[in-house]
Structures are given as structure tokens and as C-alpha cells.
A = this chain, B = another copy of it.
Amino acid sequence: MSLYQASVPQLKKMLNNLDKWLDAAVAHATKKSFEPSVLLVARLAPDQYSLTRQIQACCDGAKFTAARLAGKEAPKHPDTETTLDELRARIRSTLEFLDTITEADFADAKGRMIALPFMPGKVLTAADYLNEMALPNFYFHMTTAYAILRHNGVDVGKIAFIGSLNFRDA
């Protein structure tokens, strides 16, 4: 299994799933006659990230995973989004960056050592980074974003979380 296969296509699919959950959030707000932006400051615990920050973290997780494994510079996003439209633009911008990362960019990924800003002087192998840190962290923020929506009554389900699967005939 390649590091590319285990990361980029799935990160892109999940960000597209997230975008669809936001459609469901808008539909729920419209039905209940409240401003969708009310959901953006919702959080599950007072000392946990709001939905806005969870969505930013999903985008950052995807961006940095792809950039670090490909040995490329990630685009900067200053976390200034305050509206649903701005957050959706952030998701689109992240997807556009991921679209520039090809399997060829991962040719040297296997031997790459990954440094993380919070642990100076230390590195992870690319595989350890992906398995132990990048994927758990990405799914953590994706699931928490989803959970905030679910907790607030938005009509999303497990199938909307997982998204499409590449089934073949048995």
C-alpha cells in the first residue's frame, strides 16, 4: 500500500463529505428558522474547539499531511474565517491544493522523516507520521465537526460520514 493511496484520495473524499454536511446544516437551519452561523460557534465542551475551528483543523490536517509527505510547502491560511461561506472557501482552497499533489510527488515519501512544530529535534518516519498522528488527528477533527452538527440536530448519518466506497463485484 502506498503512502499516497493511504492519504490524499481519502483526505479529499472526507473534505468533500464535510462540505455536504454543511449543506445539511444549512437545510436544518432553514427548516428551523435560525441563522446557520449559530452553528459555527457551537462546541461540545467549553474548552474544546468550536465548529469553525474544527473545520479549520480538518483543512489543516489534510493540507499538512499531504504537504509533509510530498515534501512540499503548504499554502498559508490565517484562520480568519467567520462565516459559513468563508469556511466553504477554505475547504475548496484546501481541495485545490490537494489536487496539485500527485502520486509522483510521493515517490520519495517513504524515506522522508517528518518534523512537527511542537516537537523540535525529533522526527517521525513518514509511515509513523501518517498512521500515528496525521490520520488519527484528521479523523478526530472530522468526527468532532460531525458530532457538533449531530448534537445540534443536523440530519447527517454514518453514510454521510464514510462517503462512497470503491466496491467491486465479488
Contacts and interface: CB of A to CB of B under 8 A. Distances in A.
Interface size class of A (residues with CB under 8 A): 35 or more
Contacts of A104: none
Interface stretch (A21-29, A72-80, A83-91, A121-129): A121-129
Interface string A4-19: 0110011001100000
Interface of A: 1-3, 5-6, 9-10, 13-14, 44-45, 48, 110, 113, 115, 119, 121-125, 127-128, 130-133, 135-137, 139-140, 143-144, 146-147, 150-151, 153, 158, 161-163, 165-170
Given A1-B3, A10-B132, A139-B139, 12 more contacts: A5-B127, A6-B131, A44-B44, A45-B151, A113-B170, A121-B169, A122-B170, A128-B165, A133-B162, A136-B139, A140-B146, A151-B151
